[in-house]
Amino acid sequence: MCAARFSLSLLLVLLCLQPVEAQKGRTRSRNVGIGTLSGNRLVHQELKLSDEQKAALKKAASEVRAAVKAAQGLEEQERSRKNREATQKLRAAIASTCDDKQQKRLFQIEIQYTSGSWMLMRKELSSVLKLTKEQRKQIREVSRIMQGKVRKLRESRTDENRRDVQSKVNALLAQGRRDAVKLLTEEQQKNWKAASGKAFELWPAKKKNKKNKKKKNKKKKKTE
């Protein structure tokens, strides 16, 4: 049981590290940590936060990212403990800053923008999914297997292959999520899908610059 809890906690830590690696490699994955989401401008707009709330979440998100970065050189267990503490502190800040409606929407966005099987075990979903003891055991096993594969990949990471490794990590976590969802009954899968709420676009497509469009049209006319 202790090993299972540690495995799940380690996956949570890996998720917290995800935004840092994504930024370095300039990759965009569906696996974005709460530290990034809680400080994102578009998320703030979606939650309809006041200026005071925005400032509070930005400060809390900045602190957790700094804590995660500072813990990177520590031994695995100590790093895991430090990151858990930082994430717990951030979630406490979210709870004290946002109202119930805002917290619910943020959690829906978190479901949409995280990978890995561990999300199905979140306490916020316990009354929604109503997992059986056997399902919990199977999901923990999926988490344990994926956690081992992710650890091996990260150990092989160098400056040259960083982006490739991160891409493989993203794929593994996404596969872990799919494997875990397959363990749900049809009714549970419907409830799981509903729990993510309305689709949210964290990286909306950029609108074409009207001036550039006009310039292109003028060039076309001249060549004609």
**150-177 pLDDT tens trace:** 889 888 888 888 889 888 988 999 999 9
Q: Does residue 224 carry a pLDDT above 60?
A: no
Residue-level pLDDT at 114: 86
Residue-level pLDDT at 193: 95
Q: How many residues does the chain have?
A: 224
Residue-level pLDDT at 80: 85
Residue-level pLDDT at 215: 57
Q: Does residue 91 carry a pLDDT above 80?
A: yes
Would you say 181 and 120 are in contact if contact means Cβ atoms under 8 Å apart? Answer: yes
Separation of CA 24 from chain center: 16
Residue-level pLDDT at 27: 41
Least confident window among 9-13, 62-66, 101-105, 139-143? 9-13
Residue-level pLDDT at 142: 95
Domain parsing of the chain, residue ranges = 1-26+117-196, 34-112
